[in-house]
Structures are given as C-alpha cells and as structure tokens.
Amino acid sequence: MPESDPSAAAGVGILAGIARHAQPGAAMETVERAAVTPEGGIEGDYRGGSKGKPHRRQVTLMEHGDWAAALAEVGAAVPWQERRANLLIDGLDLPQDRGVRLRIGAQVVLEITRETDPCSRMDKLAPGLCAALTPDWRGGVCTMVITGGAIAIGDAIRIET
C-alpha cells in the first residue's frame, strides 16, 4: 500500500485471503469466509487443533508484500496459497514479536507465537524460494486463537494495543 494510504498510517490491514487444508500434504482450499475457534483454529484446517488442545502453529499468516518480494527475487509466479499459510494479509506489517495480539474483524483475536519457517517444499515450487522467504520473517507468523468468531475476506486486521 502507498505510504499516503490513511489505513496504513493507522496500522490497519485487510484480510486478503483465507486457505485451509484438511490433512497434512493435502491441497490448499481457498474460501471467502471461515469460523475460527480456540479449540480448532480455522474450521476445516487440520493444523488448528492437536488432540483437542490448541497448537502454537494453529493459524499462520503471511504478508502479501513479503510473498510478492520473495517471488520477484526468484523470478517465479506462484499462487499465495501454495505457501500453505492460512491467512494472507495486505497493507499491514506483521509484528515480529511473540505475544503480540492481532484482531481480525470484530471478534477474532490471534496471538503471535513464533515465526513460520519456510520448508523445503518451497524450493519444489520455485528454486531458491525457501531462502527468499527466510529473511525478516518473510515466511510469516504462527499464531494461537485467543478469541474465536467469524472472519471473511475484506475484514480489517490490526495490532491490538
């Protein structure tokens, strides 16, 4: 987003994409909206719950700009969901700090637990993509659900203070 954009100055981004996969290795499915719970993360995503307990990688988020920069670096065109992140964020620089909380829409609150490390699967999509996603947390952030609710593409996302 341009720096003159008032929403960028206010620390507000937009939820630009939602994706999930029913089991490890399964194809990512993009959806327009989803339910999010502390027990299961994004409804229909296998990673959301682990034996009925929240997982520290419950919901993963990635910045649109970081994905575009990594792809430009390796000269590739790959759909964002192939990164295997759950949420694509536009217009907000995701914090690189554990414990920071993010609000999506009116209800959902997520807490950052760690950086999302890119895996070797990225190099199968485009040679060098794993390395291109490594600096400056470009691979995204992992979060746990603090407060559940419904999310939809176009929802505002902001850092909780």
- Global pTM? 0.89
pLDDT tens for the chain, 161 residues long, are: 344 444 444 589 999 999 999 888 889 999 999 999 998 999 999 887 655 555 667 999 999 999 999 999 999 999 999 999 999 999 999 999 999 999 999 999 999 999 999 888 899 999 999 999 999 999 999 999 999 999 999 999 999 97
d(CA 147, CA 15): 17
- Residue 10 pLDDT: 57
- Residue 51 pLDDT: 55
- Residue 53 pLDDT: 58
d(CA 75, CA 146): 38
- Residue 119 pLDDT: 85
| Cα Rg of the chain (Å, integer) | 15
d(CA 88, CA 141): 11
Contact of 48 with 42, CB cutoff 8 Å: yes
Report which secondary-structure segment, H or E, holds 141.
Answer: strand 141-147
d(CA 96, CA 16): 20
- Residue 6 pLDDT: 42
Q: Which domains does the chain have, with CATH numbers?
A: 6-63+82-118+140-159 (2.40.33.20)
If you ran DSSP here, which 8-state letter would residue 129 be given?
A: H
d(CA 82, CA 94): 20
- Residue 2 pLDDT: 40
